Amino acid sequence: MPPQLLLLLLLLCYHGFLIAAAGEHSSPVRLELVRHPAPSGASRLEHVQELFRSDRLRQRMIHDRIQRGRHRRRACDVSPPSKNRSSVPAPADSFKMPLKSGAYSGTGQYFVRFLLGTPAQRFQLVMDTGSDLTWVKCRLRPPGCRSDGNGTRDFRSDVSSSFKPIPCSSDMCKTSLPFSLTTCPTPASPCAYDYGYSDGSTAQGVFANEKATIILSNGRRAKLRGLVVGCTSTSAGSSFWAADGVLGLGYSDISFAGRATARFQGRFSYCLVDHLSPRNASSFLTFGPNAAALPSPPPRETALVLDLEPFYTVGVDGISVDGELLAIPRIVWDVGAGGGAILDSGTSLTVLAEPAYRAVASALSRRLEGIPRVSVDPFDYCYNWTAAGGQRKLPRMVVHLAGSAALEPPAKSYVIDVADGVKCLGIAVAPWPGVSTIGNILQQEHRWEFDLKNRRLRFRRSRCRRE
């Protein structure tokens, strides 16, 4: 066994000890989005309650990371990469990467299918626009050993010829990698991390440079190299039970989005199917222009604010219900005053800062008066929809983004089914001051394009068919 590989094996085996002893450093490509079978009845209620719990924990970490990052401002480089960062040939600018999509996941997350290493190994990763680290569950073990038995796979870094651990003595480890540790037994030892997620989940492992295999629109395969990935030896949390890791799409030089958009015209997009879609529903994550989703009608457009790295922030002018613009203090949407709003694919429900939540919940509940209320923990407003006779018209909520870009989600995205015959307001409250989060349920059945090069966000309604 090569000395470098032996060193990595030893580090992974004793990683828990190292973490305890260490201190923290303060044309298009498509990937498949997959969700698993939708729960029903009592199991659906348990599922939604778990979404609420996870989203609440996630908001804590979003708040903490924003607070840490307010004093650190730097631009993400989306210029074309140098030759040593990508082996995609120049004509690939006009190529697409077709991928498949799957069905609804009981975890409330969306998943991508991903090919990593040389030769390529296949994984299912959580798609997370709020994370800058891409990582896979990683074990160095003798051939023939099985994984943990939960259906997930482990990355075999020992059989990947392109896996190159990042030294802990490198400037990248010391200054650029999120949640890197001061542990450095020798200058050549791999850079270790202890990564915390907003829902309370954690991942510990070592950083490396690696290659991903991408399938272009002409069916050819190519290597996207120079990627920063995490080889995770230990992970904990409900976010990862059905996944092999995380695809980091946050705004950052080291994220997969940062590296891939540098090669594919500075943009990526996705279309999320209904979160209760059947198993065979499909949607796509695309890097580069998406010729399959030509806008008709044209998309709506607003500024993409990139000041709260790695999160994607948008300006909000207000929220209206049935045409009534609600009295929400403008400071709630002011990033400089501790507010603002982000789009986050890793949060399920839409979470509003307390002043906005009170105004929106009050306006929606007033229009639902007459429908019997029921108590469903932890939601504030739930209704016996069977008693409504199916004839009740749902109120129309609009989020007015900066630049007259109105997000008009279907009512099922904010008055959600939680059990048979029961609907609840699918919004949650966040402490003020603090950011508001447009979650993936409110984003569903829209195509979202993140144009990082021009700092624009474009969106339009879509059923996400073949997009």
Domain-by-domain residue ranges, the chain? 96-143+153-287, 300-461
Alpha-carbon distance of 97 to 29, in angstroms, equals 4
Alpha-carbon distance of 427 to 439, in angstroms, equals 9
With a cut of 50, which residues of the chain have pLDDT below it? 1-42, 71-86, 89-92, 94-103, 141-150
Q: What's the CATH code, domain 300-461?
A: 2.40.70.10
The per-residue pLDDT for 171 is 96
| Residues annotated as part of the active site | 128, 344
- Specify whether the CB–CB gap between 223 and 212 falls below 8 A: yes
> In Å, how far are 162, 174, 208, 464 from 157, measured between CA atoms?
9, 23, 10, 35
Cα atoms in the Cβ-side hemisphere of radius 13 Å centred on 373: 11
DSSP helix/strand/coil, 105: coil
Strands (E), 330-426: 341-343, 350-353, 373-374, 382-384, 397-401, 405-407, 415-419, 422-425
Full-model pTM:
0.84
The per-residue pLDDT for 390 is 62
The per-residue pLDDT for 197 is 66
Q: What's the CATH code, domain 96-143+153-287?
A: 2.40.70.10
Sorted by sequence, the CB contacts under 8 Å of residue 263 that are 6+ apart come out as 80, 81, 85, 86, 88, 92, 224, 287
Nearest to 340 by CA among 317, 315, 376, 361: 315
The per-residue pLDDT for 98 is 32
What tokens does 100 get? 């498949």
The per-residue pLDDT for 6 is 44
The per-residue pLDDT for 198 is 57
Alpha-carbon distance of 267 to 78, in angstroms, equals 9
Alpha-carbon distance of 34 to 105, in angstroms, equals 7
Nearest to 444 by CA among 208, 125, 76, 108: 108
Sorted by sequence, the CB contacts under 8 Å of residue 398 that are 6+ apart come out as 319, 320, 321, 406, 407, 408
Nearest to 424 by CA among 56, 43, 49: 49
The per-residue pLDDT for 69 is 66
The per-residue pLDDT for 62 is 81
Alpha-carbon distance of 56 to 188, in angstroms, equals 40
